[in-house]
Structure 1
Amino acid sequence: MIVDTGEMSYVEVPADEVPDPRIEALEQLREMPVPTAVFVPQPHLEKASTPSLQRRGVSEGMRGMNVSFTYMFFLDPDDRMAPENLAELDPDTERALEEAADSAGPSWLVEMMEEMRFPQLWEAVRTSWHRDEDESSSLDALLLEHAEHVLRNCFRTQRGLEGFAGGLPPAPDLSESALQRPAFLVVDGVELEGARIDTDPHVYAIGAELPSGGTATGVVPRDKLDHIRLELKTHQP
């Protein structure tokens, strides 16, 4: 249906015809040149429906790409809607969830928003690929960047980052000195030697270079660590 507002016209698309963005995300995921890593199946974790993707140099032939997966966390995996499994939501988020559930909007929107009801391990597992190797593509650099990325976005108050806008500073007290070896990450049943960060008060991070190409890194909140099996598997999108 074409709607005329007097100043401009636009096409109003019925809710059931609005494209599901998850489909496009999965199509883009197939552009990843190497297999991507995810947590092995485990009771307390469920992968969120949409991965986060970053691509570099697409117009000149892709120079790099990373794929990150967010996970919902269930303290009581036997009762999904148990009170201890629900996140503390602000009133605006609660209202948005209620409106989405009551609306005639597309089912995919309701499903994606329902994921917000549960605590999340935001972008917990990342696979990074670079066409050309340099300092920024090393395991150490990627592990630090991933950990800082999670800290800046999920622990702003705890890290003293409230009030910053635009270009955020790096998370304080996290530098190359935080990297520890030896560290071993199990991927596809094989123990790979890598690096870890086990001194930060808010997150634990670990990573390793993958035999199939690319680098896998994992960053999880320290208060969830006892419930998480830090083991990965890879799959080709």
Structure 2
Amino acid sequence: MRFEGVLPEDAPDPRIGHARRLELMPIPIIGLVPQPSLEDVDMVGFQYGQDTRGYSEMSASISYTLWRNPADRSDPVNLAELDGQGRQMVEGIPPWPRPRWLVEQAERLRYPQLWEAVRTTWRRDASELSVGRVLSDHLNHVLINRYRREWPGRKAWTGHAAEVTVRVDEVDVRGLAIDTDPLVYAVGASLGDNGVVTAVLPRNALGYLRIEFETRRQRL
């Protein structure tokens, strides 16, 4: 959903529309298991592809807020390091009323965000669904969009992933991990039913996280 100009105070929360689109996913959406340091705030991105036969691929990507000290959210250790643009978005309060959901989104920018951290990917043609390819696509997407300062001159990641065990819905399955990038750690596994789950997580957040997955319940 795109808005132009000044949003009226009663502008609808775009997450409601996102939730309706997520119902199109042919397979359940997967996220990280609930844990104190993570907050799922219903920031779920949705992408799809179509052809003459209908939907050919879909993906849903979950973003999280990271709490380094979840027992005391007022602890300054929880704050993100904001650049000039980030501070302007947080502190630049306009002189007109804003929708509550927009105020909440701006306030959350004060804290570290794990942007599109977990992605569920479905493809109609199973032959086009490789865990390694989906994992490297997700990793490069996060690097290009969230690490622009560190990215100049770097090539897209095209190396090999290592086999690991991944826990999904309390079951251990075979998966792949990319543990060679200095900025992020990436891991993924097949879900069956033409689906793959992948996660791309900042290395500086790994000490606060338990990397296990489960089916995500719809929030809105």
User: Are 1:148 and 2:135 an aligned pair?
Assistant: no
Does structure 2 conserve the Cα–Cα contact (< 8 Å) formed by 1:34 and 1:236?
no
Does structure 2 conserve the Cα–Cα contact (< 8 Å) formed by 1:57 and 1:64?
yes
SS in 2 for 1:229: coil
Matches within 5 A, 1:81-120: 81-100=74-93, 103-120=96-113
Unpaired runs of 5+ in structure 1?
Answer: 1-11, 162-170
CA shift digits 1:117-147 (9 cap, x unpaired): 1111111100000011234x21110011011
Q: 1:92 to 1:235 in 2, by over 3 A?
A: closer
Q: Distance in 1 between matches of 2:130 and 2:92?
A: 45
Q: Which amino acid aligns with 2:178?
A: I
Does structure 2 conserve the Cα–Cα contact (< 8 Å) formed by 1:140 and 1:176?
no
User: Are 1:197 and 2:178 an aligned pair?
Assistant: yes
User: Are 1:39 and 2:39 an aligned pair?
Assistant: no
The alignment's TM-score, normalised by the length of structure 2, stands at 0.88
User: Are 1:127 and 2:133 an aligned pair?
Assistant: no
**Runs of 4 or more off by more than 3 Å in structure 1?**
98-103
Structure 1 or 2: more strand by fraction: 2
Q: Distance in 1 between matches of 2:137 and 2:176?
A: 13
Unpaired runs of 5+ in structure 2?
Answer: none
SS in 1 for 2:55: coil
Q: Which amino acid aligns with 1:129?
A: W
Q: 1:213 to 1:132 in 2, by over 3 A?
A: closer
Aligned residue for 1:180? 162
Q: Which amino acid aligns with 2:143?
A: L
Does structure 2 conserve the Cα–Cα contact (< 8 Å) formed by 1:101 and 1:110?
no
Larger radius of gyration: 1
Q: Distance in 2 between matches of 1:26 and 1:37?
A: 14
Aligned residue for 1:228? 209
Does structure 1 conserve the Cα–Cα contact (< 8 Å) formed by 2:165 and 2:173?
yes
